[in-house]
Structure 1
């Protein structure tokens, strides 16, 4: 069997494995391509089972890819520096109004109307003024995709709805994290909580 025939035969199954593991069409295609490039550079006569070799290779590449993304996000979160983003919050006297009720109601509305990824992008962009480049690094989403998600979130929030009712268990913890981020600059922990709310495979989709 020629190299071209082997690639044509096994490409569908390798691509299927890659897309299921990484959840991104673009990344899956790159991983499969790298797998075949590696296969073309080795002594193929030493491979007893070509299909098993290719499947093992693409699986390992997917795992390495996911680990690299996770490490990249952790490194980014560790280096976050709120800087001047929090000055306007520090200058505000939160004691002048019922902070818990006002912010709690707003966060519950976000939780009820938005998907986790939409909520995370909306809060970081609209409240903390994150650049789209930062959002791209945190969520591994293209900048244009982040803009679309923000627009979708705004559309959902603009729709009329009945007053929401607080029902989710982690609301108090989330509220404390939000206020802590606004007042003390502990942004890394809060961003981590937003990222952890997002289903991993959904988070990987471009």
Structure 2
């Protein structure tokens, strides 16, 4: 079989494997593409089983990617020292308040209620997917997919949702979560938004 035939044949399988490992289609596509580039650079005579070679290559790429993300996250958290950072936040500062309002406005314009809630708790407060599954009563894989979709939407300039929101209530809940680690109000607010849209 030619290189192009093998790529066409195994691409769906490899992408499925990568997505299951990473939970994000964009990252999965990158890992598969990288595996194919390595495959094209190797002498075909040195590969006994093309399918096994490609699966192993994609799996290794995904594991390396996950380890890299884990290391970057660890280094970031060690350098930032989040508890100290939150203690220094001046919630009465007009600049901070305006920046937070602008951020929440973007989230409301570009994301639906579930995407917004998952994204905010996952990316803003580092909630684990097991926790998100319980909070929103959604499967863990679905939560991963929604967070990935939210990231992709935020990267685009188009705006889908344009309804208004209570920024004062959001700010208060966000402040409480940052100040004393009490997420009850924020989680209740995020769940209430989903009910209002249904």
TM-score, normalised relative to structure 1: 0.49
For 1:50, the equivalent position in structure 2 comes to none
Query: 2-side partners of 1:161 and 1:136: how far apart?
Result: 28
For 1:198, the equivalent position in structure 2 comes to 194
> Which 4+ runs in 1 deviate beyond 4 A?
none
Query: 2-side partners of 1:133 and 1:148: how far apart?
Result: 14
Query: 1-side partners of 2:105 and 2:89: how far apart?
Result: 22
Query: 2-side partners of 1:86 and 1:186: how far apart?
Result: 15
1:144 to 141, 145, 157: 141
Can you list the C-alpha shifts for 1:43-86, whole angstroms capped at 9, x where unaligned? xxxxxxxxxxxxxxxxxxxxxxxxxxxxxxxxxxxxxxxxxx96
For 2:126, the equivalent position in structure 1 comes to 129
Query: 1-side partners of 2:109 and 2:131: how far apart?
Result: 25
Query: 2-side partners of 1:182 and 1:113: how far apart?
Result: 24
Larger Rg belongs to: 1
Are 2:183 and 1:181 aligned? no
For 1:78, the equivalent position in structure 2 comes to none
**1 or 2 for the larger relative contact order (CA 8 Å, sep ≥6)?**
1
SS for the counterpart of 1:98 is helix
Query: 2-side partners of 1:116 and 1:86: how far apart?
Result: 26
For 1:90, the equivalent position in structure 2 comes to 86
Can you list the C-alpha shifts for 1:82-127, whole angstroms capped at 9, x where unaligned? xxx9625424333677111011100010011100000000000001
Are 2:151 and 1:154 aligned? yes
Query: 2-side partners of 1:173 and 1:201: how far apart?
Result: 17
CA RMSD, Structure 1 to Structure 2 (Å): 2.9
Query: 1-side partners of 2:127 and 2:165: how far apart?
Result: 28
Decide whether the 8 Å contact of 2:117 with 2:190 is kept in 1: yes
Tell me by how many angstroms 1:185 deviates. 2.2
Query: 2-side partners of 1:120 and 1:113: how far apart?
Result: 12
**Unpaired runs of 5+ in structure 2?**
1-80
For 1:113, the equivalent position in structure 2 comes to 110
